[in-house]
Chain A
């Protein structure tokens, strides 16, 4: 199994541009999570899906952020328009059976908004 796959690994964009981050969970996993990691705030849960349905998006910072999971093997996190304070590492994680079994994290996308 290739694990959780995220793309791109690095993204540099200008303020105001749209950014789309992608995630492919482990095949068979039914929960998917998007996290943001910064030095100041640590690891923050943005949103998670269970069986492709968004369950909790209370961590999404504002309306500029949106996430979708059109099918069991793909999810996107979109920021539109992007701002410098969005610069962070964004991790996707998936799990089978919920939190009880832990998560497998992807390698992350390092986003820099200039």
Chain B
């Protein structure tokens, strides 16, 4: 069965610190990869996505993610976080051609001013 692992449950950073959130998945076929962000009290919003091509994907608000196929990973990064990045971040994986996505359990990011 497919699974998505986000090993960091809660990350606390000071403003301007660099961020990297881990995401690993277990599926050997062709996948589509996503990061969603959920700000406090709000719904999930798409941050960035990878379908094919350049494994380094740039998203909104300065976020980027790198797909490393050999490691089954799609880690999210941001060079300098802001207080407004405080949110929960979800990694999701979809099998190409399938209808549904598999979500990780989420990583809560708290940025201290």
Question: A residues near B, CB below 8 A?
Answer: 31, 33, 42-43, 45, 48, 50, 55-56, 91, 93, 95, 98-100, 102-108
Contacts and interface: CB of A to CB of B under 8 A. Distances in A.
Interface string B54-89: 000000000000000000000000000000000000
Nearest to B32: A100
Contacts, number: 60
A91 B41 CA distance: 12
Contacts of B103: 42-43, 45
Nearest to B90: A43
21 contacts: A31-B99, A42-B103, A43-B44, A43-B90, A45-B100, A55-B100, A56-B99, A56-B100, A95-B99, A98-B94, A98-B97, A99-B32, A100-B32, A100-B51, A100-B94, A100-B96, A102-B49, A102-B92, A103-B46, A105-B44, A106-B43
